[in-house]
Amino acid sequence: MDLPMDVQVELDELRRDSESWWYTTRRKLLREAAMQAVHGKREARVLDLRCAAQLQFDDPALYRVCNVHGSLRTLAFRQTEGDEDLVCSRAEELGFASNSFDAIVAGDVLQSEADDVSALREMRRVLKEGGLLCLTVPAYSFLWGEDDEARGHQRRYTVSELRRKLNTSGFQVHRASYFVASAFLPLVVGRAARDIFRKSISHHRHYPHPSRLANAAMGTLLDGERHLLHYINLPFGTRVVCWALKPALVAEAVTVPAWERKWAQQPLAQGSG
């Protein structure tokens, strides 16, 4: 059965996106975070927001992945690509019980939410105590462009702003770094050229997709950045990546003075009469 033209165009766009250098690198980054979070655990559960990591564990008895997206068309596309356990839900209203997941990976989710703090608090709610949240977001408001508007983005972030919002939402930030430093200078130059020659630049729904050679070259550069992140935080980039934990509740040890303990053990004698 032939699909409507607009649906076919959107599916083709999703397929090209999934093969691009950023989506490929993001998958590797989120998969690595998820595997580290569930390592050594049995019956662990991972929530993949926006279906960004495309996780597939070899033993479903040990690990289970729940893929969540707010778009039915995107979920339909992911189903054709072989993903399972697909759920349609908004990040601000996740339809899961509290303390359900050992890890959450969220690839480029927050920038599209009207209330990003509420979305973070909802992620914290469904995450188990001590569970890991790994997320990526676009960096720097001065890099805002037509692509952000076409994809329905609300904002871009700095590392300090993302840290502050995670802390406000009850997370303990483990690490936060810029990423995709290789594309930072070309993107800054491109933004400057757009501002200078605004009238001569045609508007696209998305930026043109790079050639296979350029795609492979950027993928190789970002693989190097991804390995470098194991040792240092990058000082700039077009994306921010953050690892945060949901703190475990610790009961406070209350010290009772000796005189109060003695008084509690020996109640006053009752008066006669």
pLDDT tens figures, 97-150: 999 999 999 999 999 999 999 999 999 999 999 999 999 999 999 999 888 998
272 occurs within a structural domain:
no
67-91 burial, b if ≥16 CB within 10 A, otherwise e? bbbbeeebbebbeeeebeebeeeeb
pLDDT (0 to 100) of residue 26: 96
pLDDT (0 to 100) of residue 62: 60
Query: Is the predicted pLDDT of residue 254 greater than 50, yes or no?
Result: no
pLDDT tens figures, 38-91: 988 888 999 999 998 888 765 555 678 889 998 888 898 888 888 888 999 999
The burial class, CB within 10 Å (0-12 / 13-18 / 19+), for 203 is exposed
Assigned token pair, 212: 């296979």
pLDDT (0 to 100) of residue 111: 97
The residue segments making up the domain with residue 49 are 5-265
130 occurs within a structural domain:
yes
pLDDT tens figures, 105-117: 999 999 999 999 9
Name the 3-class secondary structure at 268. coil
Q: Give the number of domains in the chain.
A: 1
CATH of the domain at 39: 3.40.50.150
170 occurs within a structural domain:
yes
Reported confidence tier of residue 259, pLDDT bands at 50, 70, 90: very low
271 occurs within a structural domain:
no
User: What is the pTM (predicted TM-score) of this model?
Assistant: 0.83
